[in-house]
Chains A and B, each alone.
Chain A
Amino acid sequence: MAVVDRPVVKPRPVYLNLFAIRLPLPGLVSILHRISGALLFLPGIPLLLWAMQMALTSSDTWGEFRGWFASPWVKLVAIGMTWAYLHHLFAGVRHLVMDLHIGMDLPAARQSSALVLALPVLLTLVVAVRLW
């Protein structure tokens, strides 16, 4: 009797082929938010504490700290961390703004995600130019 009412059974779980899906801009901001967050946890936090220690202990350690930046590898890490911090910050502010129900429709969300992708890259370039 009630058989007719039963919904069609779909095979579950559904596996999506992630490589066949084109990631929209807000999706790109989202995954980069997670990746940058992971990078800020490691190596970000220990590097920050180490830098603070070098800067605060004495003028000698400060000089030693400055000396590290002669290496291009250290510069690259600093630039990478700068990008991670800025991207995470900007994507986070976008989150907070959307929590206030501002910019929720699709065109606005696309525009803000483009802004959040571009601005940290530009600012990181400024830092990179100053560092080299």
Chain B
Amino acid sequence: MVTRQRVVVGAHYGWRDWLVQRITAVVMTLYTLFFLALLLWHGGLDASAWQRTFGSGFFRLATFLFMVALLWHAWVGVRNILMDYVKPVTIRLSLEVAVIAVLIAYAGWTIRLLWGVV
């Protein structure tokens, strides 16, 4: 008798997304604490303190890291929501493409904000 072993295969992105969601979460949590400490240190931020803070290359890089983590985290989360509630494949795929496009546009906006590349 021939026994067929049923091999379950998939795209294997599940575990990667799981890990990405946690690593990006930790990055954002650290940045949030750092930012709150900065706010408390300055006792709130007025226009000049705010612009001076963003004048530092380190702060801009940290903010960029936070934004990348945020956008990536948003992609994993929003895709999970779409997979749960939007069953028709064409609509879901269209929405996913729209979300990716918007997130990439946000990334461009972030870079322009931080480094003034127009």
Where the two chains meet, the residues of A that have a C-beta atom closer than 8 Å to any C-beta of B are 34, 37-38, 40-41, 45-46, 49, 52-53, 55-56, 59, 62-63, 89, 92-93, 95-96, 99
A53 touches B113 (CB 8 A): yes
Q: Which chain B positions have C-beta within 8 A of A89?
A: 28-29, 32
In the assembled complex, 21 residue pairs joining A and B whose CB atoms fall closer than 8 Å, in A order, are A37-B77, A37-B81, A38-B77, A40-B74, A41-B74, A41-B77, A41-B78, A46-B106, A52-B113, A53-B109, A53-B113, A55-B50, A56-B113, A59-B47, A62-B47, A89-B29, A89-B32, A92-B29, A93-B29, A95-B22, A99-B22
Q: Which chain B positions have C-beta within 8 A of A37?
A: 77, 81
Where the two chains meet, the residues of B that have a C-beta atom closer than 8 Å to any C-beta of A are 22, 25-26, 28-29, 32, 46-48, 50-51, 54, 70-71, 74, 77-78, 81, 106, 109-110, 113
Please, how many angstroms separate the alpha-carbon atoms of A16 and B40 in the complex? 49
A49 touches B110 (CB 8 A): yes
